[in-house]
Amino acid sequence: MKVKVDFHIHTCYSYDGLMTLKELIVYSKRSGLNCVAVTDHDTIEGALKLVKQDEILVIPGVEVSAKGCHVLALNVMEPIQSGLGAQEVVERVHEAGGIAALAHPTAAYKGARKTLTAKFDAIEVINSSSLFFDLSTYLNGRIADALGASQLAGSDAHYAQEVGYAYTIVEASLNVDEIVKAVKMGLTTPCGRRIPWGVRLKREALSLKKKIALGLNGLTASSSTEGEGPSFYGCSFC
């Protein structure tokens, strides 16, 4: 059996996510996906809520901010510490029972060389949010080939309309453990395309709106409770 999986999606539980959990379910089904990996930045909260529903199969995950790169921790039920080196993150993910994929490798500019010595289970070859999509896809494919790692694709959607622009065909039954096992065995075919500019611009506009709202809240909060205002940091990779 072949299943269609988007391995890289962010919800509003990510500091930069704009998609509610309900929207994620609706748009995933609308895109014809059989399964989605929920990979919010450094939090597993939204993913743990989504595994409880039965409308679409969810692989719980986290996009871990490691030194010089982002690592997709897939099929984990606990947070993975951020700020560690890539290999240490990979080991923590394995200890948590999951698999580790290097997200958008060519975007990890400075840390790329050190990063690539880590023993990733898979490499994200297609990322629909990449600005230089064709070049990134080509270079990511070469990296995956050189490392002999499995190849994945994901939309890196932060906004509902972006879901499913990239997906991975996995030769497995519709079961999280089976899908993860198939990824480790390399039974994957990355597919997909760039998110259209119109959709991307809508996301950027909404993102800016959220940033301003959080900034204003932060100003209000900091005037009353010094140092406790919410923070918003732009994602340096996605």
Q: Which residues bind Zn ion (CB under 5 A)?
A: 63, 70, 103, 156, 237-238
Q: List Cβ neighbours of 8 (8 Å cut-off, separation of 6 or more).
A: 37, 39, 63, 72, 103, 124, 127, 152, 154, 155, 156, 157, 166
Q: How far is the CB of 10 from Zn ion (least distance, A)?
A: 6
Residue 220 or 236 having the CB closest to Zn ion: 236
- Cβ nearer to Zn ion, comparing 61 with 229: 61
Using the minimum distance from each CB to Zn ion, give the nearer residue, 121 or 156. Answer: 156
Q: CB 224 → Zn ion: shortest distance, Å?
A: 33
**94, 78 Cβ separation under 8 angstroms:** no
* 70/203 with CB nearer Zn ion: 70
Residue nearest to Zn ion (CB): 70
Burial 106-123 (b: 16+ CB within 10 A, else e): bbbeeeeeebbebebbbb
Nearest-approach distance from CB 38 to Zn ion, in angstroms: 11
Q: How far is the CB of 28 from Zn ion (least distance, A)?
A: 16
